[in-house]
């Protein structure tokens, strides 16, 4: 499922939830957000490890 993208290029979470009272879609959006957050955290940790290794 793709999130609608606002004018600044950021997925519009509020917009997608507001337009549908459908809980399944909201749950799907939250799950997608959770995976994105986990992936981002992992990338940050990997970058931090690389920086420490380079010092």
Q: What is the pLDDT of residues 13-51, one digit of tens each?
A: 555 555 556 888 888 999 999 999 999 999 999 999 999
Give the model's pLDDT for residue 48. 94
Number of domains making up the chain:
1
**Residue 46 domain boundaries:** 13-54
In this structure, is residue 23 part of a structural domain?
yes
Give the model's pLDDT for residue 54. 87
In this structure, is residue 35 part of a structural domain?
yes
Contacts of 1 (CB under 8 A, 6+ apart): 25, 28, 29, 32
Rounded to two decimals, the pTM is 0.49
- 17's tokens: 């939830």
Identify the band that residue 55 occupies on the pLDDT scale cut at 50, 70 and 90.
Answer: confident
Give the model's pLDDT for residue 47. 95
In this structure, is residue 4 part of a structural domain?
no
């Amino acid at each position: 499922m793709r999130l609608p993208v606002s004018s600044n290029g950021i997925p519009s979470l509020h917009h997608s939830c507001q337009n549908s009272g459908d809980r399944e879609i909201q749950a799907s959006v939250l799950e997608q957000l959770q995976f994105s957050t986990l992936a981002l955290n992992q990338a940050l940790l990997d970058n931090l490890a690389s920086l420490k290794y380079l010092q």
